[in-house]
Amino acid sequence: MSEQITPEFIRRIPKTDLHVHLDGSLRIPTLIELAEQSRVELPAQDEAGLKAKVFKTHYESLPEYLQGFAYTCAVLQNAENLERIAYELGQDNIEEGVRYVEVRFAPQLHTHEGLPIAEVVRAVAAGMDRAKKEHNESDAVRNGDDIPYEYGIIICALRSFNEHMSDYYKRILNIMSYAKKKEVFAAASLEIARAAVAMAQKDGIPVVGFDLAGEEAGYPADDHKEAFAYAHKHFLRKTVHAGEAYGPESIFQAITDCHANRIGHGTFLFAEDMIKNPTIEDPGMYTRLLAEYIASQRIAIEVNLTSNLQTTPSITSVAVHPVRQMIEHNLSVSICTDNRLVSNTTVSKEFELLVESIPVTRAQFRNLVVSGFKGSFFPGSYNDKRRYVRKVINRYEALEKELLRD
C-alpha cells in the first residue's frame, strides 16, 4: 500500500462515484429475481453461473463486455424495477462509504408506451431518494459523525443505436427512414438533451448532467454537437465518453465541440501514436498541449481502472495505466467504477487497486478523493457545494489522524 494507506481507511473515508452506469450495477440476486418476474431468460439461474458465462473477471473485447447489458436492460422496463435497483445502488454506495454519486443511464432504453422518459427518470430518483433519506436521518449524520449522502442523475445520449435496442429507437428510425444514420443519431441526442434540460429545470428532478456514450470509432462526438450546444446554452453540465477506445482527437472533440466539463475514461489522452489526423504535424506537442489545457481548465477525468483492464488489451496492469501520468500532470482525476456488476467492483476496490499498483503519496491520494467532490455536478448551489466539500475534507482529515501513521 502506498504510504500505508490501508483498506480500512479507504473504506471509511467519504468517496464519490461520478461515472457509474445504472444498468451495469445491479445485484446479481436481484437480476435473477427480476428476470423470473419479467420472464427474461438468463444464460444461468445462479450467481456462479452468471459470473462464469456473462459477468466475468476478464473479457476478450468491449462487445463481450457489453453483452450483459442485454439482460439487465431487459428487466428494467417498468418503474418498480427501476426504483428498486436505484435504491439498492444507493444502499451499496452508502455501505462502502460513497457519499456522493452521479448515476448515469439512457432512459430511452427503458421507455415505451405507458412509461415516458420523465417517469423512467423519476423512478430512479425515487429509489435514490429513499436510500438518501434512510442514511441522512441516521444518528451518525444527525450527530455530525458522518456526512450526508447526496446524488445527481446524468442522462446519456448514444453515439449510435439500432431498432433492436428499444421501442423508442425503433420509432425514431422508422420516422426518419430516409435520413442518413448520423442525422438520426444526432436528432435523437438533441431530443434527449431537451428532455434532460426540462427535467432539470422544470420537473424538479435532480438531473445534473448530459453524457454521450457508445462506440467512438466511426461515430464522432461532433455529430452530436447540436445536442451539446443545447445543453450548454441551458446551463446543464456535460460529460463525454472519450479516449476510451480512440485517441486524443476524440478527447479534443469532446472539449471543443461538445463543451465537456468532464471526460469519461480519457484512457488514451497521452497516446500520440493513435492520432490519425494528417494535419497534426507534431503528435507529441498536440498531446502535451491537450493535457496542459485539460489541467489548466480543471476538466475532470473519470477514471475506471478495472473496466479499462477488462476491455483494453494494451493495458495489462494498473502499473501501465495512464492514470499514473494523469496524476503526475496534476490533472483533476476522480476514481470511478463504471459498472459495479459488469466489472465486479466497488469504489473502495478501485482505490485499493490503485494504491497497490503505483506509488501514490498521501497528498496525491487526498487530492484524488477530494477531486471527486470538487469535480461533481452537485445538484445544489455553488455555496451549498462548497459547504459540502468542507464537510468532506473535515471528515477525511479526522479519519486520517485516527487511522494512518504520521
Q: What is the pLDDT along the chain (406 residues), one digit of tens a residue?
A: 566 899 999 999 999 999 999 999 999 999 999 999 999 999 999 999 999 999 988 888 777 888 899 999 999 999 999 999 999 999 999 999 999 999 999 999 999 988 999 999 999 999 999 999 999 999 999 999 999 999 999 999 999 999 999 999 999 999 999 999 999 999 999 999 999 999 999 999 999 999 999 988 889 999 999 999 999 999 999 999 999 888 999 999 999 999 999 999 999 999 999 999 999 999 999 999 999 999 999 999 999 999 999 988 889 999 999 999 999 999 999 999 999 999 999 999 999 999 999 999 999 999 999 999 999 999 999 999 999 999 999 999 999 999 997 6
Q: What is the pLDDT of residue 216?
A: 87
Q: What is the pLDDT of residue 58?
A: 84
Assign 118 to helix, strand or coil. helix
Q: What is the pLDDT of residue 245?
A: 83
Q: What is the pLDDT of residue 78?
A: 96
Q: Are 212 and 224 in contact (CB under 8 A)?
A: yes
Q: What is the pLDDT of residue 61?
A: 77
Burial letters for 10-42: b for 16+ Cβ neighbours within 10 Å, e otherwise?
A: bbbbbbbbbbbbbbbbbbbebbbebbeeeebeb
Measured between alpha carbons, how far is 199 from 122 in angstroms, rounded to an integer?
Answer: 9
Measured between alpha carbons, how far is 119 from 122 in angstroms, rounded to an integer?
Answer: 5
Q: What is the pLDDT of residue 405?
A: 78
Q: What is the pLDDT of residue 4?
A: 84
The full set of domain ranges for the chain reads 2-403
Q: Are 118 and 155 in contact (CB under 8 A)?
A: no
Please return the burial class of 295, using the count of CB atoms within 10 Å of its CB with bins 0-12, 13-18 and 19+: middle
Of 165, 61, 160, 151, which Cα lies nearest the Cα of 104? 151
Active site residue 244: yes
Q: Which three cell numbers stand for residue 377?
A: 455536478
DSSP character for 115? B
Terminal alpha carbon distance of the chain = 15
Measured between alpha carbons, how far is 191 from 198 in angstroms, rounded to an integer?
Answer: 11
CATH architecture for segment(s) 2-403? Alpha-Beta Barrel (3.20)
Compute CA distances 27 → 48, 50, 181, whole Å.
13, 12, 35
Q: What is the pLDDT of residue 66?
A: 85
Measured between alpha carbons, how far is 321 from 49 in angstroms, rounded to an integer?
Answer: 31
Q: Are 212 and 156 in contact (CB under 8 A)?
A: yes
Q: What is the pLDDT of residue 13?
A: 98
Q: Which three cell numbers stand for residue 141?
A: 449524520
Q: Which three cell numbers stand for residue 10?
A: 479507504
Measured between alpha carbons, how far is 105 from 108 in angstroms, rounded to an integer?
Answer: 9
Complete DSSP assignment for 184-224: HHHHHHHHHHHHHHHHHHTS---EEEEEEES--TTS-GGGG
Global pTM?
0.96
| Marked catalytic residue, from 83, 102, 244, 350 | 244
Q: What is the pLDDT of residue 2?
A: 64
298's CB contacts (< 8 A; 6+ apart) are: 332, 375
